[in-house]
Amino acid sequence: MKNISIIGGGTMGNGIAHVMALHGFHVQLIDKNDAALQKAMQTIEKNLERQLQKNHINVDQKEMTLANIQCFNEISTGVASSELIIEAVTEIESTKMEIFRLADLHASPNCILASNTSSISISKLAEATKRPEKVIGMHFMNPVPVMKLVEIIEGKHGSKETLETIVKLTQTIGKTPCVVKDAPGFISNRLLMPMINEAILALQEGISDAKTIDDIMKLGMAHPMGPLQLADYIGLDVCHNILCILEEGFQNAKYHPAELLKGKIDKGKLGVKTGEGFYKY
Ligand code: CAA
């Protein structure tokens, strides 16, 4: 495998492009918005510089990584020579389905289609294509250059060959693949989001303040970030969407998003990206 297309230049898309290009793959980074592509390349350069300063990479690796990334506005041209496409656009099912349909239309017959979705059904995305056996989930974690996990999701139509190829690729880029079946929230968010929601409920009930709740998990459970800080980092709207997918998927009210979470979103306080969530940035 040499050519990998990444659709979406946001936080996850640029992180995935960074890691793939650093490991020698030719990356076609696709976003219909020029400003998003420009911002993605600036972020990749900034994060490579951070790795260079810490002696994790050398100058040649930084330059090779940047030279390995080519930007495109259109899926049709950006996927033409790809052996793998990784979709990393916003968590809206209809948008992802349309991108899968288009990628399937323009990609070569052997190309694997992966989604970085954090909760949408891989089997359903596969059904938007004519190659369901070549569709798989590759759920990267933010910040992608740092986090070791890639949660690999096997859809019900996926082939053993597709799974083996993606597991091998994940190891090649220095990450650890953890394979799970397709179910709401997979494993990562099925476990993470109830913890975040519970922390928000405790805050809502006045059991303690945000910093103390976070300190308890940081100092007592060795979490690098407390659940409320992590929710701000992920985005409160994203957390809300995932909780709704869990509630609907399992038909269980225990996943119902806390009122305080909804209140923050209504006020436009979505976390780090808007300058305020449970904390101010
Ligand atoms: N690119 C490259 N390197 C980066 C980086 C980036 N974007 N961000 C951080 N780093 C590096 C730093 O340079 C630093 O390197 P050294 O160890 O060599 O010094 C290291 O990572 C740690 O960073 P910092 O010193 O700046 O800060 P920190 O120690 O507070 O760590 C953190 C920052 C890595 C984000 C840490 O707080 C952490 O692990 N937080 C939890 C992150 C997490 O849980 N992510 C998963 C979110 S869920 C998700 O993504 C998916 C979903 O479906 C919702």
Catalytic residue among 118, 188, 197, 241: 118
Is the CB–ligand 1 distance for residue 50 below 6 Å? yes
Average pLDDT over residues 78-92: 96
**Would you call 18 a catalytic residue per the annotation?**
no
Percent of the chain with pLDDT over 70: 100
- Give the residue whose CA is nearest to atom 30 of ligand 1: 224
> Which of 39, 44, 146 to mutate to test ligand 1, by most ligand atoms within 8 A of the CB atom?
146
- Give the residue whose CA is nearest to atom 28 of ligand 1: 224
**Would you call 58 a catalytic residue per the annotation?**
no
Is the CB–ligand 1 distance for residue 138 below 6 Å? no
| Atom nearest to 142 CA in ligand 1 | 50
Average pLDDT over residues 260-265: 98
What tens digit of pLDDT does each residue of 172-213 get? 999 999 999 999 999 999 999 999 999 999 999 999 999 999
pLDDT at 243 exceeding the cut of 90 = yes
Residue 91: what pLDDT?
Answer: 87
Confidence of residue 164 (pLDDT cuts 50, 70, 90): very high
**Would you call 76 a catalytic residue per the annotation?**
no
Confidence of residue 119 (pLDDT cuts 50, 70, 90): confident
Q: Is the pTM of this model over 0.75?
A: yes
Pairwise CA distance, residues 105 & 113, whole Å: 11
Q: Ligand 1 centre from 45 Cα, in Å?
A: 16
Average pLDDT over residues 81-87: 98
Pairwise CA distance, residues 207 & 30, whole Å: 46
What tens digit of pLDDT does each residue of 87-106 get? 999 888 999 999 999 999 99
Percent of the chain with pLDDT over 90: 99
What tens digit of pLDDT does each residue of 37-47 get? 999 999 999 99
Catalytic residue among 82, 115, 121, 139: 139
- Give the residue whose CA is nearest to atom 53 of ligand 1: 118
Is the CB–ligand 1 distance for residue 261 below 6 Å? no
Tokens 């305020």 sit on residue: 276
| Atom nearest to 141 CA in ligand 1 | 50
**Would you call 241 a catalytic residue per the annotation?**
no
Residue 238: what pLDDT?
Answer: 94
Pairwise CA distance, residues 189 & 98, whole Å: 24
Average pLDDT over residues 211-234: 98
Ordered by where they begin, the domains of the chain are 3-181 (3.40.50.720), 188-272 (1.10.1040.10)
Is the CB–ligand 1 distance for residue 46 below 6 Å? no
Give CA separation, 233 vs 8, 11, 160, 218, in Å.
Answer: 19, 11, 35, 15
Q: With beta carbons less than 8 A apart as the criterion, state whether 185 and 245 touch.
A: yes
Confidence of residue 139 (pLDDT cuts 50, 70, 90): very high
Please report which residue ranges of the chain form alpha helices under DSSP H.
11-22, 34-53, 59-67, 75-78, 93-106, 122-126, 160-172, 188-204, 210-221, 227-234, 236-250, 259-266
What tens digit of pLDDT does each residue of 49-78 get? 999 999 999 999 999 999 999 999 999 999
Confidence of residue 124 (pLDDT cuts 50, 70, 90): very high
